Amino acid sequence: MESERTSEVVADSLIKEIRGNYLAIGATLPTERELCDRFSASRPTIREALRIMEFKGYLRQASNKRPVAEKPTIQKILKYTAENLKEILDDTDSQAYLEQMRQFIEVGALRTVIESSSEVNLARIHKALVECHQAIGNQKTFAEADIAFHRAIVKVVDNPIMLNLHDMFIRNLLFSRPPVSDQNEHDTMVYQEHKSIYEAILRKDAEAAMAVMNQHLHRSYKIRLQVPSVE
């Protein structure tokens, strides 16, 4: 029978306080010496407990500063996961694997939209489509509208894990988008693809919707893999 380290016991206890809202998010934790008194433990043991809490996402503490209570969020957990995966897989590989996942999520979400989407959700997708149209030619605004269109589709699934995964992927996309030579031409083409997707949604044509979405996602991803020119 394995006994648990005192540091684990202390960390678990403090985590319960945070999760039970006895310690507010952003609130400074009691000093190490206060925690020593409270838990009848030594300071090195308390410090170990604080490290444990930090890695479980319940604490944030810059060096030489007071520790602050936090709670893990879906976003943080997924971000941490992606970083860990990046560390053990080749960086390019892990990126491609995660992009593939994003595509599966988007295509799956599209199918959900077609099978069982409410009027509210359709209205949201339509609004996103209109905003794409209005943003044609403006690189920044169009990028955001482009992303919002995809997000509106994934949001229909009502699954916070997938939505956060999608948001995480989108963050990466925003930062790695290559420049396009003709903004208007590019935006118009993307808008046409969105429009085709939306129309297929309306007539509940799953096959057409998914074919266009697949093409749209692959083309969009391939832009980032284009052959460097020899200038």
Which residues of the shown chain bind DNA in the complex (CB under 7 A)? Answer: 5-7, 29, 31-33, 36, 40-45, 47-48, 61-67
Give the whole-angstrom CA distance, residue 83 versus residue 52.
19
Give the whole-angstrom CA distance, residue 59 versus residue 220.
38
Nearer to a copy of itself, 145 or 201 (CB): 201
Strands (E), 18-150: 59-60, 68-69
Nearer to a copy of itself, 81 or 134 (CB): 81
Give the whole-angstrom CA distance, residue 161 versus residue 77.
10
Could you tell which of DNA, a copy of itself, none binds residue 26, using a CB distance below 5 to 8 A set by kind?
Answer: none
The nearest distance, CB 17 to DNA, in angstroms, is 16
Query: Which residue ranges make up the site for a copy of itself (CB under 8 A)?
Result: 2-5, 7, 44, 47-48, 51-52, 55-57, 62-64, 71-74, 77-78, 80-81, 84-85, 87-89, 94, 97-98, 100-101, 103-105, 107-109, 111, 157, 159-162, 206-207, 210, 214
Cα angle value 130/206/209 (rounded, 5°): 40
The nearest distance, CB 22 to DNA, in angstroms, is 18
Give the whole-angstrom CA distance, residue 164 versus residue 148.
14
Integer angstrom CA distances of residue 32 from 41, 47, 52, 157: 10, 7, 14, 45
Could you tell which of DNA, a copy of itself, none binds residue 41, using a CB distance below 5 to 8 A set by kind?
Answer: DNA
The nearest distance, CB 186 to DNA, in angstroms, is 47
Best CA proximity match to 213, nearest among 138, 97, 104, 135: 104
Could you tell which of DNA, a copy of itself, none binds residue 97, using a CB distance below 5 to 8 A set by kind?
Answer: a copy of itself
The nearest distance, CB 135 to a copy of itself, in angstroms, is 29
Could you tell which of DNA, a copy of itself, none binds residue 72, using a CB distance below 5 to 8 A set by kind?
Answer: a copy of itself
Per DSSP, 157 falls in state T
Number of residues assigned to the chain:
231
Give the whole-angstrom CA distance, residue 67 versus residue 116.
47
The nearest distance, CB 26 to DNA, in angstroms, is 13
Nearer to DNA, 7 or 117 (CB): 7
